[in-house]
Amino acid sequence: MVERISPWERILLARHPKRPTFSDFLAELFENFIELHGDRLFGDDPAIIAGLGTFENESVVIIGQEKGKLIQEKMKRNFGMPHPEGYRKAFRVMKLAEKFSLPVLCFIDTAGAYPGIGAEERGQAWAIAQNLREISLLKTPIIVIILSEGGSGGALGIGVGDYIMMLENAYYSVISPEGCASILFRDSSKAPEAAEMLKITSEELLKLGLVDEVIPEPNGGAHEDLHGTVENLRKSLRNILKKMKEKEIKKLLEERWMKLRNYGRFNEEEVK
């Protein structure tokens, strides 16, 4: 570890214009990728890419939030901010994984679920809640990788799993630091202070037990060294998938529940 990078600097790295997006990791980590479109209910959400692929000769289901690169693609993908149909597509593809006993890999990179009229009309909250409930019961291993931005409920909507990994320069937060600053500090320019308070960096979240592993980004970060970052991620994925494969589904689900059950810290006063 070199000198400490402040939480705000991490956020700037996570949002760096040259930072690789999900599609870069998709191309580097997987072969034979077949994209699957649509939620079978309303439409296809380009903010979430879902499909089948192979990871080191094993078939897996891959789901990821994609922000896009050039401006036209960014607009098409709504800057990686999903609508309800995105969460519903992700879930229907997860059901496919369950049916055919394939592990699921979810890649997170979103500022948040899209705040818009259509999203509300089609039940953004309902789509996310149903994912949280149903993914917690999905009978196949689920690995979650926070790539860059882990923006609140929009990230968590595909973020329930058995093992949570986070790239070193990613952040994961209950609210954007800007949003927190404008609500709690009553001054959106206080975002760096809010970022400090919210404990959103990979290092801090690992320490708090809210993520399971941090993937180091060598040579200045993923935007400088995509290959090095991918190789670190590949190694970790290989290890965890091997462990997951050996686990009985019943035990996997029990452990997933206990993991979720135990999030939270509070006082429990003795009852007189």
Partner 1 sequence: MFKDWLKKDDKSKFRDIPDGLWVKCPQCSQIIYSKDWNENFKVCIKCGYHDQLTAYERIDLLVDYGTFKELDKNITPLDILGFVDTKPYLQRLKEAQESTGLKDAIITGEGEINGIPVYIMVMDFRFIGGSMGSVVGEKVVRIIERAISNRKPVVSVIASGGARMQEGLFSLYQMAKTSAAVGRLDKERIPYITILTHPSTAGVLASFGSLGDIIIAEPGALIGFTGPRVIEQTIKQKLPEGFQRSEFLLEHGMVDMVVERKRLKNVTYLILSHLWRKVW
Residues interacting with partner 1, by CB under 8 A? 113, 115-117, 119-126, 128-130, 132-134, 136-137, 152-153, 156-157, 159-160, 172-175, 179-180, 183-186, 194, 197-200, 205, 208, 210, 256-257, 260-261, 263-271
Q: How far is the CB of 160 from partner 1 (least distance, A)?
A: 5
User: Do β-strands 58-65 and 104-110 pair in parallel, antiparallel, or remain unpaired?
Assistant: parallel
Q: Do 241 and 103 touch, CB atoms closer than 8 A?
A: yes
d(CA 184, CA 61): 40
Q: Phi/psi at 177 (nearest 5 deg)?
A: -60, -35
- Report the candidate in 166, 165, 172, 163 with the shortest Cα–Cα distance to residue 259: 163
Q: Decide whether 71 or 271 has the Cβ nearer to partner 1.
A: 271
Q: How far is the CB of 225 from partner 1 (least distance, A)?
A: 27
Q: Decide whether 4 or 186 has the Cβ nearer to partner 1.
A: 186
Look-up: residue for tokens 């007189």? 272
Q: How far is the CB of 34 from partner 1 (least distance, A)?
A: 29
Q: Decide whether 38 or 123 has the Cβ nearer to partner 1.
A: 123
Q: In this structure, how many other beta carbons lie within 10 angstroms of the beta carbon of residue 200? A: 25
Q: Decide whether 33 or 185 has the Cβ nearer to partner 1.
A: 185
Q: Decide whether 76 or 242 has the Cβ nearer to partner 1.
A: 76
Q: Do 6 and 207 touch, CB atoms closer than 8 A?
A: no
Q: How far is the CB of 263 from partner 1 (least distance, A)?
A: 4
